Structure 1
Amino acid sequence: MSTHDYNRYRVGVAGGELSVGVWEPVSAEPGPVPTVCVIHGITSNHLFFAGLVPLLPGVRIIGPDLRGRADSRLLPGPFGMVAHAEDVLRAIETFSDSGVVTLAGHSMGGFVAMTLAGLPAAIGAADVDSDTEATVRFRGPVLIDGGLPLAVPGTADEDLNAALDTDDLIAAVLGPAAERLSMSFATVEEYLAFFAAHPAFADGLDTVATESFVYDLAAKDDDSFQPSTSVAAMQEDSADMYTGTAYPAALEAVMGDAERQGDVAFLFAERDLLAAEPGLYPPGLVAEYRRRWPEMDTVEVLGTNHYDILLTEEGIQACAEAVTARLGPVEDGAVE
């Protein structure tokens, strides 16, 4: 028996409409429903979180496709963490009737979640005029192999602002994930075969991964297919993650408050995007973050890589436990 009903909607945002998937619990009690907003990675889409849904019975899950990706691929820039955070906030305002919403972000989605959690500070740093009271609305965020500053491979763990240009950053951190965006595929099956041969999916593609990858494809005029993520979006977002001012300001606002820091969960995979050790967050860097933010809940999800932390039983269970522990109290009145 299904735990949720799923539908997809469009929400008006700057420049057009954002596509948002919503899983409504079938067994919800009368009144406001506990709500989680899941935010995907830089070349992904909301369906990559589908495996988490059955482990959250009675909870509404809101999953936007970030602008420049999947069914939101036609939304134009500007991109960057503030633009995505404001889009996500609009989706939450539209679909949540809960007074408190728990945020969960995978990979770049963790950076968006952190920016949203500290949005007034982020907006101030970005010099954008807004009177949002976003910080009082959110629990978490739950950061899933993302959301804390990344070290560039080949540099010291503590060198978080290595002087690389955007192309170098993309090549160093995303590697084949970025190269894939320029590729064309004759059929859907050819695209799935590409992932089946990927080292991160050596154990095969499950239903969640398969449906997310199929959903990701965009048809071209010559009847071939290409990944939906805009190269411009990837480039602008990558640069903003490393060199922008909004995310660091939001990070400081959230992690500089002991109570809010204690509500943050950081789950990190043992292996990276190519299933190699160490992961995106090497042991030395994680140790530094534990020292810097001792109130944060830090969990190594053994046996997982950057992708299957949201696909394997061990990974999805760890994510569900972190989210469940941070479900906010349900209050009367929707987010307006």
Structure 2
Amino acid sequence: MRSYRRDTVAVDGGDLTVGVWGDGGPLVVAAHGITSHHLAWGLVAPSVGLDHRFVAPDLRGRGRSRDLPGPYGMDRHAEDLAAVIRAHGERAVVVGHSMGCWAAIALARHEPELVERLVLVDGGPPLAPPPGVPAEPTADQVTRVITETIGQAYARLSMTFPDRAAYRDLWQAHPSLAEWNDAMTMYADYDLVDDGGVLRPACRLEAALRDARDLYAWQPVPPEPLPVPAIFLRAERGMLDQPEGLFAPGAAGRAFPGVVERDVPGTNHYTITLSPKGAADVVTAVRSGG
């Protein structure tokens, strides 16, 4: 990965680990998904980093930032993203994938002066919880909702693995990752950490469960324009490569009047960043805004 390095940014409670690609040019700050880490951008960042500075944190509770203390939640991640921007510049194009979109939106609403524009990659519009879930769900109900939404990616957080090969095997069996590539291998290898003598995924279960609460419209949410220009890239297929995407066509425009919405054909929720086709479309949106 060309001119890639890891660094840290001081945030409340300790140091946030960030991946950095590129040495100059406009600043891009990117936030990953709910159980992910900064190498979710492993195909996007090297290309953008040729003429930008692309900075992607391991969000609090994930990757090498897993030991940063809670509380979690989108407002907390927005504070951390603001610290990353201030450490590397004055204003940034802010990119989110999946949960990272909700964090990016929280940042734009709280501190719009830090955000030039948003690139929302298959995330951001409030998700509808399953029928019967109350407006103030219990921890068990949140667990059920997130399990139904992201399935295997959530279940792995309670698992341990004998070696990295076994962890790669788990990911390679995921229906969304049938066309395996080197970026996916690096993603899987980085995600596994030694925790007291056992290998487990880096994302802390309590972080994922708390953050999931902020993604759903537990009560009706009226449409509200975003405070900065934004583009929403919609994966054609879903979390498990099912034909229905995570978001229906037009969902972003209904939630955020005025947002530009584009479909990315031939991608699912994972391959919209972790495949050459999806990454190329994200790179175009980051560079040009369209």
Name the CA distance, whole Å, in 1 between partners of 2:153 and 2:215: 17
Residue 192 (structure 2) aligned to one of 217, 220, 228 = 217
Match of 1:241 among 215, 234, 251: 215
Give how far 1:241 is off: 2.5
1:300 maps to 263
Structure 1 gap ranges (5+): 120-133, 328-336
- Preserved CA contact (<8 Å) 2:58 2:64: yes
Structure with more relative contact order (C-alpha pairs < 8 Å, separation 6 or more)? 1
Q: Which residue of 1 aligns with 2:126?
A: 149
RMSD: 2.6
C-alpha contact 2:125 2:251 (8 A) present in aligned 1: no
Q: What per-residue deviation string (whole Å, max 9, x for no partner) do you get for residues 21-80 of structure 1?
A: 11124xx4xxxx301001000111111102112332210001111010010011110000
Shift of 1:171: 1.7
Counterparts of 1:300 and 1:162, CA distance in 2: 33
* Aligned match for 1:317, one of 243, 256, 280: 280
Q: Which runs of 5+ in 2 are unaligned?
A: none
Structure 2 residue identity aligned to 1:270:
E
With normalisation by structure 1, the TM-score equals: 0.78
Instruction: Tell me the distance in 2 between the aligned counterparts of 1:228 and 1:292.
Output: 32
**Match runs of 1:131-146 below 5 Å:** 134-146=111-123
Q: Which residue identity lines up with residue 212 of structure 1 in the other structure?
A: Y
SS class of match (1:278): coil
Give the count of matched residue pairs: 286
Q: Which amino acid aligns with 2:18?
A: V
Residue 80 of structure 2 is aligned to residue 104 of structure 1 = no
Aligned to 1:68: 61
- TM-superposed deviation, 1:256: 5.4
Deviation at 1:295, TM superposition (A): 2.4
**Aligned-partner Cα distance in 1 for 2:210–2:159:** 20
Query: In structure 1, what is the Cα distance between the partners aligned to 2:64 and 2:256?
Result: 37
Q: Once the 2 structures are TM-superposed, how far is the Cα of residue 281 of structure 1 from its aligned partner?
A: 0.6
Q: What percentage of aligned pairs have identical amino acids?
A: 35
In the other structure, the counterpart of 2:150 is 174
Asked if 1 retains the 8 angstrom alpha-carbon contact of 2:42 and 2:274, the reply is: no
What amino acid is aligned across from residue 38 of structure 1 in structure 2?
Answer: A
Structure 1 match to 2:247 = 281
* Compared CA separation, residues 71 and 319, structure 1 to 2 (3 A): same
Relative to 1, partners in 2 of residues 1:322 and 1:183: Cα closer, same or farther, differing over 3 Å? same
1:264 pairs with one of 230, 246, 253: 230
1:82 Cα deviation from its structure 2 partner:
0.7
1:334: which partner in 2?
Answer: none
1:162 and 1:288 mapped to 2: Cα distance? 24
Q: Which residue of 2 aligns with 1:22?
A: 20
| Counterpart residue identity of residue 278, structure 1 | E
Q: Which amino acid aligns with 1:316?
A: A
Moved more, 9-18 or 175-184: 9-18
1:35 is matched with 27
CA 1:256–1:8 in 2, change beyond 3 Å: closer, same or farther?
closer
Deviates more, 1:184-193 or 1:308-317: 308-317
Correspondence 1:55 to 2:55: no
Return the index of the structure with the highest Cα Rg. Answer: 1
Shift of 1:160: 12
SS at match of 2:233: strand
Residue 10 of structure 1 corresponds to 8
Report the residue type matching 2:20 in the other structure: V
Asked whether the equivalents of residues 149 and 160 of structure 1 are also in contact (C-alpha less than 8 Å), the reply is no
CA distance in 2, matches of 1:211, 1:288: 32
SS in 2 for 1:241: coil
